[in-house]
């Protein structure tokens, strides 16, 4: 089984600890992971802002970078959803615009092997207890793309439930968007801030020490809002909780 | 009309409005979920609804012609209106031909869309809204802000004040000492409206569905006021969008399950009125159907965007939308607010104006709207598709002609930034250099960003750039031996 990490541009640049946690976790579970250096961004910011044509080279790059692997694992529901939902659309539109079949083929190659981290753990490795230890009260915010585009369902929750020492508390209005939405946060700043503020208030009200997500981008927005509100709740990526062990609390 | 972000900026500060909207949308949202969960075949019903609409849209010309002959055979008259102006002219002339100067109206989105009331007012004809929420909007000199509950942004106290102050100017005044108890408000409206029903000679409606095979029109409602307007006047004029046709009477079976559960969370809506042409001794003596295009065939010509025409105006997407909840319906600058408005309006009106070009961005793409839509309109997909039209231009149908439209104004800087980002991201070595530069200068990074980024740092703390990117960490700890795919750079 040849497994590659797709670390995403946000993780790579701003949250390397999340990537390191994925490596630690997967290696602990006996998976040998590779990191093809030719990888880059999935293209979601451009695509979702309307620059589909700017996304095409990134689709091609993704397919090439991961060509030699059986699985691509990414600690981002949003980026996994971009590949799975939108790459085929980008390929089909390029073909319809008379630019050949090449991009559609690249997309077709990328889609079936791309997994979000919790999906990979539960569906491919078939584990829910990854031997983690995290002695904290945690609430879980299911990010929109993980929840609705990928259909992660209970996977992250069942992984968290198996973590020793962890107390999971329910988040009111959990399934409501945090208001990040990529460039939405800048283009519709007032509404995004209002959504973020409500989400942050709900999180603080749970009394949890940390709020867990499967996406660093939502975490950045939620964490930034919590910090501005003076809340002490820590945003944490699920990979960091799952990588945590008795000897090494992340 | 200001752009969506500017209008929403004002409404997010209105705490009363936000509280009203939050309360109303959350209540109906929870009820809808329960009503839908009762049916174990909901997903199949939903798929059937989408399939019927798609099939009808593919052969729209055929079904519309069938409808026209069926309506005509049943004693009705069919008029075709290419745009709002033509529709308004047809209706005005029809009313003028009756010699009446007053009409009663059944709540209708199509007549909101074309601005019929003000067109009639210009011709000296007064249109009385008879739906309770529309009445509140009309008396309050306001605009509707929701598809199903146009006065959703008002609370009971505000409604009491509007009734007490304004009813007298429009007819029967509100009773003395009116309170804000729902029963009192409903009774005041009932007395006020009853006079209108009994005097009106002309009624104007829309329709939820039109059945091609029989020429039957259908209105579903909760109050019964619509039925009064549909049966009491001598002349009935219905203005309906061409996408509302369904092939057969049996197709209603699907939609009369999907619609009430999605919109009011009822198993069945309290009043379903159907009418087919005219009948002697019962109901209106004259029936006119005005079939409205107003951008619909242009929408139909777009293979991605056309799914918006499946919409049955249930408003479930509004009630679940976190953006609608904060921004309010008025910010959308159109009769159609919320997620469906964000995809329908820029297709019906084009993306030429500032507000229309901003609407496809009025969403965080969270997907909640798609999840609840009873006819499975992939609203996020259409939003992104329309964003492309705004920033890159491209082929579109404008008033029936295929053209290539130019990108909307004001995106040049963004386009340049996107190109530059693309180039960097397609050259991982350059990306790495940029990351290293950011790490090295991390102590000097401002806590507040200039330019468009200011919107971010105004309300959120910026993340700190780490000392080392993942890429560099990998290389340092795992080395060249396990770094693969380098040559492709
Ligand atoms: S788009 Fe779907 S959910 Fe929204 S109003 Fe139309 S039918 Fe209802």
pLDDT digits (tens, 9 = 90+) for B334-353: 999 999 999 999 999 999 99
Those residues with Cβ within 8 angstroms of residue B365's Cβ, 6 or more apart along the chain or in another chain: A48, A144, A181, A182, A184, B380, B383, B384
User: What is the distance between the alpha carbons of residues B276 and B211, in angstroms, rounded to a whole number?
Assistant: 9
User: What is the distance between the alpha carbons of residues A149 and A197, in angstroms, rounded to a whole number?
Assistant: 24
Residues of chain B with pLDDT > 70: what percent? 94
Q: Cα–Cα distances in Å, from B338 out to A90, A144, B145, B294, B473?
A: 27, 18, 9, 20, 45
Choose one of B339, B373, B382 to mutate for the ligand 1 pocket test, by most ligand atoms within 8 angstroms of C-beta: B373
Report the pLDDT value the prediction gives residue B420, as an integer from 0 to 100.
Answer: 75
Ligand 1 centroid–CA B147 distance in Å is: 10
Collapsing DSSP states into helix, strand and coil, what is residue A13?
Answer: helix
Q: What is the pLDDT of residues A128-187, one digit of tens each?
A: 999 999 999 999 999 999 999 999 999 999 999 999 999 999 999 999 999 999 999 999
Report the pLDDT value the prediction gives residue A107, as an integer from 0 to 100.
Answer: 96
Check pLDDT > 80 for residue B486: no
Q: Is there a contact between B463 and A181 if contact means CB atoms under 8 Å apart?
A: no
Ligand 1 centroid–CA B126 distance in Å is: 31
Report the pLDDT value the prediction gives residue B281, as an integer from 0 to 100.
Answer: 85
Cβ-Cβ contacts under 8 Å, A11 against chain B: 470
Residues whose beta carbon lies within 6 Å of some atom of ligand 1:
B 262, 311-317, 340, 372-375, 377
Choice among A39-43, A167-171, B114-118 with the minimum mean pLDDT = A39-43
Report the pLDDT value the prediction gives residue A235, as an integer from 0 to 100.
Answer: 95
Check pLDDT > 60 for residue B63: yes
User: What is the distance between the alpha carbons of residues A212 and A196, in angstroms, rounded to a whole number?
Assistant: 15
Residues of chain B with pLDDT > 90: what percent? 82
- Lateral strand order in the sheet of B286-292: B77-81, B286-292, B235-241, B202-205, B102-105, B126-129
User: What is the distance between the alpha carbons of residues B455 and A188, in angstroms, rounded to a whole number?
Assistant: 9
Q: How many CB pairs under 8 A join A and B?
A: 212
Model confidence band, residue B443 (pLDDT cutoffs 50, 70, 90): low
Check pLDDT > 60 for residue A26: yes
Report the pLDDT value the prediction gives residue B489, as an integer from 0 to 100.
Answer: 32
Model confidence band, residue B463 (pLDDT cutoffs 50, 70, 90): confident
Q: Across all residues in chain B, what is the average pLDDT?
A: 92
Choice among A44-58, B418-432, B445-459 with the minimum mean pLDDT = B445-459
Mean pLDDT of B304-316: 98
Question: Quick check: B200 and B234 in contact, CB under 8 A?
Answer: no
Check pLDDT > 50 for residue B483: no
Smallest CA–CA distance, residue B438 to chain A, in Å, is 9
């Amino acid at each position: 089984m040849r497994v590659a990490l797709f670390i995403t541009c946000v993780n790579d640049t701003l949250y390397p600890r999340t990537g390191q946690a994925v490596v630690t976790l997967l290696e602990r579970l006996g998976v040998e992971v590779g990191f093809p250096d030719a990888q880059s961004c999935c293209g979601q910011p451009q695509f979702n802002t309307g620059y589909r044509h700017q996304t095409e080279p990134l689709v091609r790059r993704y397919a090439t970078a991961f060509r030699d692997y059986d699985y691509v694992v990414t600690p981002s529901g949003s980026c996994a959803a971009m590949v799975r939902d939108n790459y085929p659309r980008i390929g089909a539109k390029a073909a319809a615009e008379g630019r050949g079949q090449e991009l559609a083929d690249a997309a077709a190659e990328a889609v079936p092997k791309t997994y979000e981290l919790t999906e990979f753990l539960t569906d491919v490795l078939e584990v829910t207890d990854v031997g983690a230890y995290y002695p904290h009260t945690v609430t879980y915010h299911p990010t929109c793309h993980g929840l609705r585009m990928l259909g992660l369902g209970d996977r992250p929750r069942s992984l968290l439930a198996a973590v020793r020492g962890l107390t999971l508390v329910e988040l009111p209005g959990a399934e409501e968007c945090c208001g990040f939405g990529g460039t939405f946060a800048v283009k519709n700043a007032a509404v995004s801030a209002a959504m973020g503020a409500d989400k942050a208030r709900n999180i603080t009200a749970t009394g949890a020490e940390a709020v867990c997500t499967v996406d660093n981008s939502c975490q950045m927005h939620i964490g930034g809002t919590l910090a501005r509100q003076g809340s002490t709740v820590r945003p944490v990526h699920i990979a960091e909780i799952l990588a945590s062990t008795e000897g090494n609390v992340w | 009309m200001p752009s969506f972000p500017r209008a929403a900026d004002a409404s997010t500060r209105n705490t009363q409005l936000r509280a009203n909207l939050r309360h109303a949308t959350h209540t109906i949202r929870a009820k809808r979920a329960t009503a839908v969960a009762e049916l174990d075949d909901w997903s199949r019903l939903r798929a059937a609804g989408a399939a019927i609409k798609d099939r009808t849209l593919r052969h729209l010309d055929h079904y519309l012609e069938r409808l026209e002959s069926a309506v005509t055979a049943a004693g009705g008259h069919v008029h075709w209106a290419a745009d709002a102006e033509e529709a308004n002219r047809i209706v005005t002339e029809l009313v003028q031909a009756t010699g009446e100067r007053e009409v009663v109206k059944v709540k209708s989105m199509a007549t909101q869309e074309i601005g019929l009331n003000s067109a009639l007012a210009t011709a000296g004809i007064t249109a009385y809204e008879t739906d309770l929420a529309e009445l509140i909007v009309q008396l309050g000199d306001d605009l509707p802000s929701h598809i199903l509950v146009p006065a959703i942004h008002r609370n009971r106290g505000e409604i009491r004040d509007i009734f007490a102050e304004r009813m007298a100017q429009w007819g029967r005044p509100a009773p003395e000492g009116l309170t804000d108890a729902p029963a009192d408000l409903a009774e005041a409206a009932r007395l006020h409206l009853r006079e209108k029903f009994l005097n009106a000679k002309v009624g104007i409606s829309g329709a939820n569905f039109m059945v091609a095979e029989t020429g039957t029109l259908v209105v579903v409602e909760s109050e019964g006021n619509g039925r009064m307007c549909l049966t009491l006047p001598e002349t009935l004029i219905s203005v309906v969008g061409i996408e509302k046709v369904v092939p057969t009477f049996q197709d209603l079976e699907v939609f009369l399950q999907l619609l009430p559960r999605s919109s009011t969370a009822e198993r069945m809506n309290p009043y379903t009125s159907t009418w087919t042409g005219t009948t002697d001794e019962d109901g209106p003596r004259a029936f006119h159907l005005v079939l409205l295009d107003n951008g619909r065939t242009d929408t139909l010509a777009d293979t991605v965007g056309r799914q918006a025409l499946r919409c049955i105006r249930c408003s479930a997407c509004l009630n679940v939308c976190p953006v609608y909840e904060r921004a309010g319906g008025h910010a959308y600058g159109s009769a159609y607010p919320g997620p469906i408005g964000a995809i329908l309006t820029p297709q019906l009106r084009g993306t030429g104006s500032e507000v229309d070009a901003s609407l496809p961005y009025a969403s965080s793409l969270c997907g909640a709207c798609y999840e609840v839509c009873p006819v499975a309109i992939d609203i996020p997909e259409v939003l992104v598709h329309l964003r492309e039209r705004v920033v890159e231009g491209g082929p579109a149908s404008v008033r029936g002609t295929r053209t290539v439209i130019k990108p909307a104004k004001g995106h040049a800087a963004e386009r340049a930034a996107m190109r530059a980002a693309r180039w960097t991201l397609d050259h991982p070595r350059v990306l790495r250099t940029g990351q290293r530069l950011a790490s090295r200068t991390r102590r000097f990074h401002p806590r507040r960003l200039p330019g468009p980024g200011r919107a971010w740092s105004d309300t959120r703390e910026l993340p700190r750039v780490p000392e080392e990117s993942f890429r560099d960490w990998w290389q340092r700890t795992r080395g060249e031996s396990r770094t693969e795919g380098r040559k492709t750079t």
